[in-house]
Structure 1
Amino acid sequence: MPGAPRDVPAVPVVPPARSSRVSPGEELRTRALPGVTLTVRSRPPARAGLPPALYVHGLGGSSQNWSALMERLAGTVDGEALDLPGFGDAPPPEDGDYSVTGQARVVIRHLDASGRGPVHLVGNSLGGAVATRVAAVRPDLVRTLTLVSPALPELRPQRTAVPTALLALPGVASLFARMTRDWTPERRTREVLALCYGDPSRVTPEGFAAAVAEYERRLELPYFWDAMARSARGVVDAYTLGGQHSLWRQAERVLAPTLLVYGVRDQLVSIRMARRASKAFRDARLLTLLEAGHVAMMEDPDAVARAFRDLLADTATTSERSAPPRG
């Protein structure tokens, strides 16, 4: 992977004062690696011996984004969800590197250190770009790849995605923070849900209250806006890379069977990209959800879980057919 600039962190590297919500049956633990501290959310598998899975969230998200899907897949895989550096309960990286390449290095470092690979790797949005890069450069770590609205380069992004991309510009994040300092956590949460969900009314009152509490917690973090701005810059920078480091070129190198999930109502990643992605990944399956937006694993976790199980079943069948005869 190409080298990334080593920025000096703009804020002290300190853990959050308050932890995020842990759903019943989940565990949250800290994992210290050289130069970075991660938090790992997990749910004990339904039985021993299940294959490992790793979930990677998107820009502004956290491991909580995978709770609903992890619960539904507890009988299928032994799942873990990461808080990438600077998000969820994980403090910023010591080198200030929020690039897609830097985040991919973190995922690879975690998998190498844990010895859980190869895993069924699942990513959403920014996490989808990170997962694509991991699968391309370390195929030994990835059994299958599932991408929910992956942030792969678009020549003409939707107008609704432009404000998020503008966070990458110097000073825009701090300007937005000042302009919205009088917004209540409820309003901030509604704005995020309206952008990410195909139908925000599907969020339950309990889910909305939990999202508000999490937003309040994150706003207390001194590095919140810095992490958002640098991560957005990392996505934009990844879009401009050409040659062998292009995300589309790396998608073509992925060997793992791949499930692509797109929401027709996605305001951040255009449904138009589904066809291109289906052609780029050599062994791809496509799930299109008519009512979903950018976070299908939260909006319709049952549909995503069914497609994921089908992917694993197809992969197992293919492996059995290609296995040499015994005896």
Structure 2
Amino acid sequence: MSSTQSPDARAVPVVPPTRSSQVSEGEELRTVTLPGVTLAVRSRPAARPGLPPALYVHGLGGSSQNWSALMERLADTVDGEALDLPGFGDSPPPDDGDYSITGYARVVIRHLDAAGRGPVHLIGNSMGGAIATRVAAVRPDLVRTLTLVSPALPELRPQRTAVPTGLLAVPGIVSLFARMTKDWTPERRTREVLALCYGDPARVTPEGFALAVAEYERRLELPYFWDVMARSARGIVDAYTLGGQHSLWRQAEKVLAPTLLVYGTRDQLVSYRMAHRAGKAFRDSRLLTLLDAGHVAMMEDPDAVARAFRELLAAPANTSERSAPPRG
């Protein structure tokens, strides 16, 4: 099965990546086997024993590598590890083929229960923010604090720049896109992704760009790459349509953990206007606004995100300020 086959094909081979993703100096990458799923887990040794645990959850098309910069900066504050969600990074697809937000949330919960690391400081970006919200709502015992970077929470009127990403959920679109872009080089694909995710792609160093290109090349070799992207995008859209107690906004209102919300004003995928609604939904929240950041603030300005996270931890329990003034 080639990487350009239809994402609707039911037979998806569960095979390991032909090449592993990069591991930065000081990081470790291990494999965790749980019932029905195998996870790659990236970690960095804590600066000293006894630090509280943290878990990082990436977004659509991302991987645990998205957290390397922030994880390094917070190594003196938390004992952090980052998951490759099933089908992403170095984790093969799940046995049950469940790419819904609920399915991913179950995987996170299963991992935390098996590892016995909870409660953790739970940190999520984009789709990972939606997953983390659901985990915090249904298993408050597993979450000390919640940090959401551009969380993918339902928008009734998404901005136009986000529409093409949403179209990935339409059956057949991903296979069409794969055919249309089959001659694109990994360099071009990487530039397109960076232009969409970064407020200022010029922030990416030549070294960082080369690493991103190598990772994109690796992913394109995976026989399930396009399938996972399509089904996960469909999972996000499905979550947006759920109402009642399963609504992500309703679940946000149930979150008890002190919450840090991080939004970039240049985000092309999650509108900054959602920051106000999120600040009202999460009962104990503070807001960090980054004027020059886009969708992946933890990669664009990890120092600012790390400072805000430390302030969250230093705040007296349940008295963190709601929607603090923007900082840039």
Give the TM-score, by structure 2 length.
0.94
- Equivalent residue number for residue 144 of structure 1: 145
Return the letter of the residue paired with 1:243.
G
Aligned residues: 313
Counterparts of 1:167 and 1:293 in 2: how far apart (Å)? 20
- Equivalent residue number for residue 322 of structure 1: none
CA-to-aligned-CA distance 1:138-168 (integer Å, 9 cap, x gap): 0000000000000000000010000000000
Counterparts of 2:96 and 2:318 in 1: how far apart (Å)? 44
Counterparts of 2:318 and 2:167 in 1: how far apart (Å)? 45
CA offset at residue 318 of structure 1? 5.9
Distance 1:273 1:225, change over 3 A: same
Return the letter of the residue paired with 2:250.
R
CA offset at residue 23 of structure 1? 0.1
Counterparts of 2:173 and 2:33 in 1: how far apart (Å)? 32
Find out whether 1:95 has 2:111 as its counterpart: no
- Equivalent residue number for residue 169 of structure 2: 168
CA offset at residue 195 of structure 1? 0.1
Q: Is the 8 A contact 2:284 2:319 kept in 1?
A: no
CA-to-aligned-CA distance 1:191-214 (integer Å, 9 cap, x gap): 000000000000000000000000
- Equivalent residue number for residue 44 of structure 1: 45
Name the SS of the counterpart of 2:50 in structure 1: coil
Name the SS of the counterpart of 2:287 in structure 1: strand
CA-to-aligned-CA distance 1:88-125 (integer Å, 9 cap, x gap): 00000011100000000000000000000000000000
Q: Is the 8 A contact 1:99 1:234 kept in 2?
A: yes
- Equivalent residue number for residue 261 of structure 1: 262
Name the SS of the counterpart of 2:122 in structure 1: strand
- Equivalent residue number for residue 113 of structure 2: 112
CA offset at residue 11 of structure 1? 1.2
- Equivalent residue number for residue 4 of structure 1: none
- Equivalent residue number for residue 60 of structure 1: 61
RMSD: 1.3
Name the SS of the counterpart of 2:103 in structure 1: helix
Return the letter of the residue paired with 1:162.
V
Name the SS of the counterpart of 1:23 in structure 2: coil
- Equivalent residue number for residue 252 of structure 1: 253
Paired-residue identity, %: 88
Find out whether 1:270 has 2:271 as its counterpart: yes
Name the SS of the counterpart of 1:37 in structure 2: strand
CA offset at residue 9 of structure 1? 4.8
Q: Is the 8 A contact 1:121 1:142 kept in 2?
A: yes
CA offset at residue 15 of structure 1? 1.2
Gap runs ≥5 in structure 1: 1-6, 320-327
Name the SS of the counterpart of 1:154 in structure 2: coil
CA-to-aligned-CA distance 1:258-288 (integer Å, 9 cap, x gap): 0000000000000000000000000000000
CA offset at residue 10 of structure 1? 3.2
CA-to-aligned-CA distance 1:299-325 (integer Å, 9 cap, x gap): 000000000000000046969xxxxxx
Name the SS of the counterpart of 2:144 in structure 1: strand
After the TM superposition, which segments of 4 or more aligned residues of structure 1 sit over 4 Å from their partners? 315-319
Return the letter of the residue paired with 1:103.
Y
Name the SS of the counterpart of 1:121 in structure 2: strand
Counterparts of 2:239 and 2:188 in 1: how far apart (Å)? 31
CA-to-aligned-CA distance 1:34-75 (integer Å, 9 cap, x gap): 000000000000000000000000000000000000000000
Find out whether 1:219 has 2:236 as its counterpart: no
Return the letter of the residue paired with 2:69.
A
Counterparts of 2:160 and 2:15 in 1: how far apart (Å)? 36
Return the letter of the residue paired with 1:33.
L
Return the letter of the residue paired with 1:92.
P
Q: Is the 8 A contact 1:8 1:96 kept in 2?
A: no
Distance 1:8 1:169, change over 3 A: closer
- Equivalent residue number for residue 195 of structure 1: 196
Q: Is the 8 A contact 1:10 1:226 kept in 2?
A: no
Return the letter of the residue paired with 1:231.
S
CA offset at residue 17 of structure 1? 1.3
- Equivalent residue number for residue 291 of structure 2: 290
Counterparts of 1:9 and 1:85 in 2: how far apart (Å)? 16
- Equivalent residue number for residue 22 of structure 2: 21
Counterparts of 1:111 and 1:84 in 2: how far apart (Å)? 13
- Equivalent residue number for residue 323 of structure 1: none
Gap runs ≥5 in structure 2: 1-7, 321-328
Q: Is the 8 A contact 1:43 1:79 kept in 2?
A: yes
**Greater mean deviation of Cα atoms: 307-316 or 230-239:** 307-316
CA-to-aligned-CA distance 1:177-229 (integer Å, 9 cap, x gap): 00000000000000000000000000000000000000000000000000000
Counterparts of 2:296 and 2:65 in 1: how far apart (Å)? 12
- Equivalent residue number for residue 76 of structure 1: 77
Counterparts of 1:11 and 1:258 in 2: how far apart (Å)? 37
